[in-house]
A = this chain, B = another copy of it.
Amino acid sequence: MEVGFLGLGIMGKAMSINLIRSGFKLTVWNRTLSKCDELVELGASIGETPAAVVKKCNYTIAMLSDPSVALSVVFDKDGVLEQICHGKGYIDMSTVGADTSSKISEAITSKGGSFLEAPVSGSKKPAEDGQLVILAAGEKALYDEAIPAFDIMGKKSFFLGQVGNGAKMKLVVNMIMGSMMNAFSEGLVLADRSGLNPHTLLDVLDLGGIANPMFRLKGPTMIQNNYSPAFPLKHQQKDMRLALALGDENAVSMPVAAAANEAFKKARSLGLGDLDFSAVYETVKTLEHSS
């Protein structure tokens, strides 16, 4: 079976290499075509345009950098829409909002094609190791068809129902993560000011019931005031905002997330928006004006 793959950035390249190494017959496309070379060496074919890829393949996976690219790959000249039709599937694994996802879904299905949004949790390393977590939503039949590919790219995939649910699930997870990062920051500062060694706090936390990879990974760098951005603070704050808006729609009061969101906003106002989201630690630490 022919599978298409659009977008060979850091994530897409790792994912498509895993597919081809596992025996998938891939046709790939990338805006800068030279990025396809490594895939071609491994046995992939090249499609000249998104439309050409879709024409040739049963279903096509996209892993694109942002919503505007995700839209142009579908709607522009030589885009996905020109060839999508009954019997063909399109799976967008990019991280885009519910709005973008809905727009693409409507366009694909109005042409008779089937659509799946499938954003992932996990970055470069999990992508290379085939350890992504895949949050799929949309056409169940297409999900079933893509399971063999998902099993290669991820350690686990979920089918979450209607289009939009993948994006919502990411928001919920990121909201919990953002509140936890604030709780963690407050704890680190409280320990430090109370005469306890923050490194010891990290050790104690890591031995108990709330031990988790994020504390283990971020704690040591936070103590060193190192916030090189894995997940930029302004994106974390945007996700908190969107999760609170989702709560507003559904009349869910979330006072802890709201307090965490205001701390992230404070961090933005301090000019920390482009640093890692763990830089919210700075808003808790802030001491005397004179220091």
User: Which chain A residues have a beta carbon within 8 Å of chain B's beta carbons?
Assistant: 121-122, 133, 135, 155-156, 158, 160-162, 165, 168-169, 172-173, 175-177, 179-180, 182-184, 186-187, 189-191, 193-197, 200-201, 203-205, 207-214, 217, 241, 243, 246-248, 250-263, 265-266, 268-271, 284, 286-290
Contact = CB atoms under 8 A, between A and B. Distances in A.
Contact of A212 (B156, B212, B258, B263): B212
A253 B190 CA distance: 9
A161 to B, nearest CB: 7
Contacts of A254: 186, 189-190, 262, 265, 284
Contacts of A165: 195-196
A183 B269 contact: no
A286 B269 contact: yes
Nearest to A205: B173
B205 A209 contact: no
B265 A251 contact: yes
Contact of A175 (B122, B186, B243): B186
A187 B203 contact: no
Contacts of A210: 173, 176-177, 180, 212-214
A121 B243 CA distance: 32
B256 A269 contact: no
Contact of A270 (B155, B173, B176, B289): B289
Given A176-B183, A182-B256, A186-B247, 16 more contacts: A160-B196, A165-B195, A172-B194, A172-B196, A180-B183, A183-B256, A186-B252, A190-B246, A247-B265, A253-B265, A254-B284, A255-B255, A255-B262, A255-B263, A258-B262, A286-B286
B186 A257 contact: yes
A175 B188 CA distance: 11
Contacts of A158: 200, 203-204
